[in-house]
Amino acid sequence: MVVRTVLTLSTRQAAEAKSMRLRDCYLELAAQAVDGARTVRVPAMAGIDENMREWSIFMILEHNAIVNRSITSIVVSLARGEQPSGLGAINPKTDVMPSPAAGSAQLEAFCSSVDEHVTAVRALKKLRGTRTWPHPVFGDFDAHKWNSMFAFHLGLHLPQARYVAEIK
């Protein structure tokens, strides 16, 4: 219930600002990592499933880019009054997993996924009160809550990325 309230109370502008700030944080962490492809097992963390605990920085970026593109597709579809399909209808347990071979190309893919989301949302008129689409954990979200979830999800993986980047 707390997460739903946080997402509801967020504004479009706050979600955009947070997304851009977090994008920059991830880029700084990737730059300071000794080896972006090295996997590191992190301790249990809120929002990080057991099968997500041993990733590299590049894998975290790839996962975020996959989820980012999915959320963008959902937001755009809902804002247009359409049912999400394609990228918006992926399996959140299996289709969001990164490749163990994720490499430096994920830096650009991640940045593009954030920038494309911001651009797409800026072009939409109404986000609140649209049709809804189920989040796998938190229930049905309208386009506004999904847009807010975009930044929230990036924030979930940031402690993981910090931990991975700080291991020397």
User: All domains of the chain, ordered by start, with CATH?
Assistant: 2-166 (1.20.120.450)
Helix (H) or strand (E) holding 55: strand 54-55
Q: 84-97, pLDDT tens digit by residue?
A: 999 999 988 899 99
- Which amino acid type is present at position 112? S
Q: 34-49, pLDDT tens digit by residue?
A: 899 999 999 999 999 9
Q: How confident is the model at residue 167 (pLDDT cuts 50, 70, 90)?
A: confident
Instruction: Share the mean pLDDT of the chain.
Output: 96
Shortest CA distance to 153 belongs to which of 132, 168, 138? 138
The whole-model pTM stands at: 0.96
Gyration radius of the chain's alpha carbons:
15
Q: 54-55 and 40-41 as β-strands: parallel, antiparallel, unpaired? A: antiparallel
Q: How confident is the model at residue 168 (pLDDT cuts 50, 70, 90)?
A: low
DSSP 82: -
**In which residue are the tokens 């590049």 written?**
58
